[in-house]
Structure 1
Amino acid sequence: MRSTDEVLDGVDLSGRTALVTGATSGLGAETARALAAAGATVVLAARDFDAAVDRARRIRDAHPEADLDVIHLDLTDLDSVRAAAGALAVRRSGLDLLINNAGLMYPPLTRTAQGLEIQFATNHLGHFLLTTELLPLLVDTATRTGIPARVVTLSSDAHRAYPIDLEDPQFVERPYDKFIAYAQSKAANVLMTVELQRLIADAPVGAYAVHPGICVTGLARFMSRDDFDRMRQLTVRNPGRLAKPKSLEQAAATSVWAATATELDRHRGAYLADCAIGRAGSHATDPDTASELWDLSTRLISAR
């Protein structure tokens, strides 16, 4: 399995700007580091601003020439997302790469201040709003530079376990199940990519969904022993997957490959895994479902 530095070996990202959400730790931190090491200007976006400043310092310690910026972004607060997108448009002359990396997995039932189930809000709706707000900047930058921009959204093969329930995505009528909630949010990541690519088919922007693979990060902080047992049941078709997790550098490799590999210009809208083109579950690639989710998401952000 390739690492981030192996994927970016010989790649020069000088003059390009990337925004990485959830950049304080885990895959986001490694993605930000790798892109900065390859010469990109990287904006670290995170809910914990001080932690993002500290992560930027650590990256500079390892790569003194790194060009980094930090911005506050709370994906569970749609007003924060709008403010971050507006600030980025003012502070930056362009944006080439949007890496929708931040995520939340298996928390107890929690609702945001705007009444949204927190996994759906963090993993999908906040990134949906961020993407739609920044899309004009991405298109403008790509048009000006002549280099296609990219939107990379981290999904997970966990999306295969359960489809999204468009009638009750917030678990208002049905009992809350954190595994179902996580799976549907990851299916939403793929569906958003499918519909986004359809809508921007004529624009110089490529959208990609990424399965990073199993990796030990803070994402599992809410998991109990029973949760791990249930995860094993859900991955029974892939025995040993949980026993052989990827390193951080290997898990983030597909994200940076999605952001930079020129051969992907011919495969816009693809689902990627292990630095290769994969295939998502049929319920996550159905064009009608993708369109319906886009409409639902638009209504949800408009109402809040």
Structure 2
Amino acid sequence: MRTTDEVLDGVDLTGRTALVTGATSGLGGETARALAAAGATVVLAARDFEAAVSRACRIRSLHPKADLDVVRLDLTDLDSVRTVAGLLAVRRSGLDLLINNAGVMYPPLTRTARGLELQFATNHLGHFLLTTELLPLLTATATRTGIPARVITLSSDAHRAYPVDLADPQFVHRPYDKFIAYAQSKAMNVLMTVELQRLLGDAPVGAYAVHPGICVTGLARFMSRDDFARMRQLTVRIPGRLANPKSLEQAAATSVWAATATELDRHRGAYLADCAVGRAGSHAVDPDTAYELWELSARLTAAHR
């Protein structure tokens, strides 16, 4: 399996700007480091501003010439998302890469200050709004430079376990199940990519969904022994899936490959895994469901102003 540095070997990203959400640790931290090492200007976006600053300092200690910026972004607060998008439009002359990396997995039922279910709000809706708010900047940058911009959204093969229930995506009328909530949020990441690419048409922006693979990170902080047992049941058809986790550098490799591989210009809207074009579950690429989710997300973000 390839690592981030192997993927970016010989790649020069000087002059390109990337925004990485959830960049304080784990996959986001490694993605930010790798892109910065390749010469990109990287904006580290995270809810914990001090942790993001600490990560930026750590990256600079490894790569003294790294060009980094830090912004506070709370994906569960749609006002925060809009503020960051506006800030980037003012502070940055362009944006080439948006890496929707942040996520939360299997928390107990939690609702945000505005009543949104936490996994839905963090994994999907906040990134939906960030993406739509930044599309004009991404498109303008790509038009000016002649290099296609990209939106990379981290999904997971967990999306295969359960389809999206658009009638009750936030568990208002059905009992909350954190495994179902996570799986459908990861299916939403793919569905958003599908509809985004349809809407983009011939615009110089490509959208991609990424499955990073199994990797031990802080994402599993809410998991109990019973949760791990249920995860093993869900992956029983894929022997060894949980027994051989990837290293951090291997798990983040597909994200940086999605951001930089020129051959992907021919595969816009694709689902990627192991630095290759893969295939998502059929329920996650259904165009009608993708359209309905987009419309629902647009209504929700408009209502929460």
Report the TM-score, using the length of structure 1 for normalisation.
Answer: 1.00
Output the amino acid matched with 2:169.
P
Aligned to 1:49: 49
Give the ranges of 4+ consecutive aligned residues of structure 1 lying more than 6 Å apart after TM superposition. Answer: none
Output the amino acid matched with 2:133.
E
How far off is 1:212 after superposition? 0.1
Aligned to 2:32: 32
Task: Determine helix, strand or coil for the equivalent of 2:137.
Answer: helix
The answer to whether structure 1 residue 271 and structure 2 residue 271 are counterparts is yes
Q: Within 5 A, what are the aligned runs for 1:117-128?
A: 117-128=117-128
The answer to whether structure 1 residue 195 and structure 2 residue 203 are counterparts is no
Aligned to 1:69: 69
Task: Determine helix, strand or coil for the equivalent of 2:222.
Answer: coil
Aligned to 1:292: 292
Q: Following the alignment from structure 2 to structure 1, what is the Cα–Cα distance between the partners of residues 104 and 126?
A: 12
Aligned to 1:165: 165
Q: Deviations over 1:101-131 (max 9, x none)?
A: 0000000000011110000000000000000
Q: Within 5 A, what are the aligned runs for 1:216-295?
A: 216-295=216-295
The answer to whether structure 1 residue 211 and structure 2 residue 194 are counterparts is no
How far off is 1:239 after superposition? 1.2
Output the amino acid matched with 2:57.
R
How far off is 1:31 after superposition? 0.1
Task: Determine helix, strand or coil for the equivalent of 1:27.
Answer: helix
- C-alpha RMSD of matched pairs (Å): 0.3
Q: Following the alignment from structure 2 to structure 1, what is the Cα–Cα distance between the partners of residues 117 and 95?
A: 30
Output the amino acid matched with 2:79.
D
Task: Determine helix, strand or coil for the equivalent of 1:240.
Answer: coil
Q: Following the alignment from structure 2 to structure 1, what is the Cα–Cα distance between the partners of residues 3 and 260?
A: 14
Output the amino acid matched with 1:167.
A
How far off is 1:151 after superposition? 0.1
Aligned to 1:179: 179
Output the amino acid matched with 1:266.
R
Q: Following the alignment from structure 2 to structure 1, what is the Cα–Cα distance between the partners of residues 62 and 36?
A: 10
Aligned to 2:18: 18
Output the amino acid matched with 1:110.
T
Q: Following the alignment from structure 1 to structure 2, what is the Cα–Cα distance between the partners of residues 89 and 115?
A: 29
How far off is 1:237 after superposition? 1.1
How far off is 1:65 after superposition? 0.3
Q: Following the alignment from structure 1 to structure 2, what is the Cα–Cα distance between the partners of residues 84 and 164?
A: 28
How far off is 1:149 after superposition? 0.1
How high is the sequence identity, in percent, across the aligned residues?
88
Aligned to 2:149: 149
Task: Determine helix, strand or coil for the equivalent of 1:20.
Answer: strand
Q: Deviations over 1:37-81 (max 9, x none)?
A: 000000000000000000000000000000000001000100100
Q: Work out the number of aligned pairs and report it.
A: 304
Q: Deviations over 1:134-158 (max 9, x none)?
A: 0000000000000000000000000
Task: Determine helix, strand or coil for the equivalent of 1:221.
Answer: helix
Q: Following the alignment from structure 1 to structure 2, what is the Cα–Cα distance between the partners of residues 82 and 174?
A: 31
Task: Determine helix, strand or coil for the equivalent of 2:70.
Answer: strand
Aligned to 1:88: 88
Output the amino acid matched with 2:263.
E
Q: Following the alignment from structure 1 to structure 2, what is the Cα–Cα distance between the partners of residues 225 and 184?
A: 22
Q: Following the alignment from structure 2 to structure 1, what is the Cα–Cα distance between the partners of residues 114 and 204?
A: 34
Task: Determine helix, strand or coil for the equivalent of 2:186.
Answer: helix
Output the amino acid matched with 1:68.
L
How far off is 1:202 after superposition? 1.4
Q: Following the alignment from structure 1 to structure 2, what is the Cα–Cα distance between the partners of residues 237 and 248?
A: 24
